[in-house]
């Protein structure tokens, strides 16, 4: 017990420095965590893809006899692909393989053109004539670093009846 009075604690300057460093590290962690909630913007022709989705104009037809998708693009934006979902009593389900996504190389259909493409895995999807199909277009844009990204346009989706 005689050495108890000679021990010293951490100096106030060191304690304050450690506290500041700890606060900076904590702020950095919170900043990086919060940054994950910010969605990355995908641009096309200098405009965000989300804003272009409302400008899409297209018609689509699912032909059940041969499992093809016919699509006519009457707008001025190329459609990269579509997502096909069958509307049912208890919600929606993807049509075909590949989570319902139908693409064809670079662009599915250019502005003012039409195209007919097979739907991968259509035979096992259980779609028959008269079923309601939700067709959601996909646009291709670039992120902030110039990497091409596909963006599903839920605001531009249409409902059709399979024939």
Distance, CA of 9 to CA of 15 (rounded, Å) = 10
Higher pLDDT, 145 or 57: 57
Is a pLDDT exceeding 70 seen at residue 30?
A: yes
Structure pTM? 0.67
Is a pLDDT exceeding 80 seen at residue 31?
A: yes
pLDDT tier at 106, thresholds 50, 70, 90? low
Long-range pairs, 42-47, Cβ under 8 A, ≥24: 42/141, 42/142, 42/143, 42/149, 42/151, 43/141, 43/142, 43/143, 44/77, 44/139, 44/140, 44/141, 44/142
CATH domain 43-161 topology? Immunoglobulin-like (2.60.40)
Give me the pLDDT at residue 33, please.
Answer: 87
- 69 near 111, Cβ under 8 Å? no
Distance, CA of 31 to CA of 104 (rounded, Å) = 40
Distance, CA of 156 to CA of 150 (rounded, Å) = 14
Is a pLDDT exceeding 80 seen at residue 27?
A: yes
Q: Which of 11-15, 33-37, 44-48, 91-95 has the highest mean pLDDT?
A: 11-15
């Amino acid at each position: 017990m005689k050495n108890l009075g000679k021990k010293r604690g951490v100096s106030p300057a060191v304690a304050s420095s450690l506290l500041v460093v700890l606060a900076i590290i904590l702020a950095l962690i919170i900043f990086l965590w919060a940054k994950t909630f910010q969605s990355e913007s995908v641009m096309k022709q200098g405009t965000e893809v989300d804003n272009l989705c409302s400008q899409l104009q297209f018609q689509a037809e699912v032909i059940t006899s041969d499992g093809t998708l016919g699509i006519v693009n009457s707008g001025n934006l190329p459609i990269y692909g579509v997502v096909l979902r069958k509307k049912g009593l208890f919600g929606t389900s993807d049509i075909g393989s590949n989570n319902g996504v139908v693409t064809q190389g670079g662009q599915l259909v250019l502005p003012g053109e039409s195209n007919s493409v097979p739907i991968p895995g259509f035979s096992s999807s259980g779609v028959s004539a008269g079923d309601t199909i939700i067709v959601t277009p996909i646009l291709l844009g670039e992120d902030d670093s110039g990497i091409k990204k596909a963006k599903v346009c839920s605001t531009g989706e249409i409902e059709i009846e399979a024939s």
